[in-house]
Structure 1
Amino acid sequence: MQIRLRANWHKANEFCTTLGMVFVSMKSQVEHNELIRFVEKMDKFSNATRFWIGASDLAEEGTYTWVSSGQLLTFSNWADNEPNNENHAEHCIEIILNIYVNRVWQWNDNECRNPREYFICEGVDKHCIENF
């Protein structure tokens, strides 16, 4: 089942959590490519679309971390001249496909309050804590 909702970054993170999931993160180009293949299978997306992923620099300007783990980004796929923190207001990461401006699944920082974004949640390994 696929649910296609749009929300601001904070509400998207909250929605993932209420489902017992986390905001999507990726640690490599391979994981990024897998995510893009998943997105491209959906009929909702066209030649110009964008969606939130679970990283931001809300805790410390210029230091991007994954909200699900608190880990620093070790992989990124920034578009040219990004992140730029335009108007000192862009702190959350989106992935953009917009063939009209030559952005093909590249990352951009955007205002977290932007409510027009799709987002992706992923499952959590519930066996990450060992029994005593």
Structure 2
Amino acid sequence: MVELTDVVFFGPRTTSTVLLNPNSLNGSCRSPMVEFQASCYLYVHQSEDFVSAMEVCREFDGYLVEIQSSAEDTFLVSLINNVTAPGSNPDVWTGGNDMFSEGHWTWLNSGIKFTYTNWYPGNPSNSWGQENCMQLHFFGGVYKWNDRDCLHKTYFICESESSTDPGVIG
């Protein structure tokens, strides 16, 4: 189980450990999640393999991010750039995968096939026959999609649905 103090959130160019307060809302999202359109996002600056990252997201009532549009992709890249030290350009897990059928990319949580893509040219490549998980990867000055071995450890972004009615909390 992930302790709340284990989640490190990088604010604009600074580092701080965040204790998630279920009574604290950031718009329609629980702090420190960030709202965009109808979803909440948490950038987790903790290296995990794909399955472990998925489990951490579930502990926060979310799932690995599912990128449905160019606008969402641009937002996520901005989130990474705004909260990461200049020049570090980390890889970031998403929920994209082709674990169940090679070459048929779907989102892990919803099972929906990709309708929008932003692959780096030549990807997905399935190098060494083991790249079944999708990450945002920094190529030549921009983030693009890349397939990667699911055992690789990297940062990740969790997504959950935003709510205009937080219900009874606490």
**TM-score interval (norm. to shorter):** 0.7 to 0.9
Q: Which has the higher strand share?
A: 2
Equivalent of 1:106 in 119, 125, 144: 144
Instruction: Describe the superposition over 1:10-34 as per-residue Cα deviations: whole angstroms up to 9, x where unpaired.
Output: 1101110111111111111111001
Match of 2:104 in 1: 63
Gap runs ≥5 in structure 2: 1-31, 33-42, 165-170
Report the Cα offset of residue 50 of structure 1: 0.8
Match of 1:85 in 2: 126
Task: Give SS of 1:36's match.
Answer: helix
Could you say what the CA RMSD is over the residues aligned between the two structures, in angstroms? 1.9
Cα distance change on mapping 1:126 and 1:71 into 2, 3 Å = farther
Is residue 124–residue 146 contact of structure 2 (8 Å, CA) maintained in 1?
yes
Gap runs ≥5 in structure 1: 128-132
Bigger mean CA deviation after superposition, 70-79 or 35-44: 35-44
Structure 1: distance between partners of 2:133 and 2:93: 8
**1:17 matches 2:17:** no
User: Larger Cα Rg: Structure 1 or Structure 2?
Assistant: 2
Identical-pair percentage: 27
TM-score after normalising by structure 2: 0.67
Report the Cα offset of residue 41 of structure 1: 1.1
Is residue 79–residue 103 contact of structure 1 (8 Å, CA) maintained in 2?
no
**1:118 matches 2:152:** no
Task: Give SS of 1:48's match.
Answer: coil
TM-score after normalising by structure 1: 0.85
Higher RCO (CA-CA < 8 Å; seq separation 6+): 1
Report the Cα offset of residue 43 of structure 1: 3.0
- Residue-pair matches, total: 123
Structure 2: distance between partners of 1:103 and 1:61: 29
Task: Give SS of 2:131's match.
Answer: coil
Match of 1:130 in 2: none
Match of 1:50 in 2: 91
Structure 2: distance between partners of 1:103 and 1:59: 32
Is residue 22–residue 124 contact of structure 1 (8 Å, CA) maintained in 2?
no
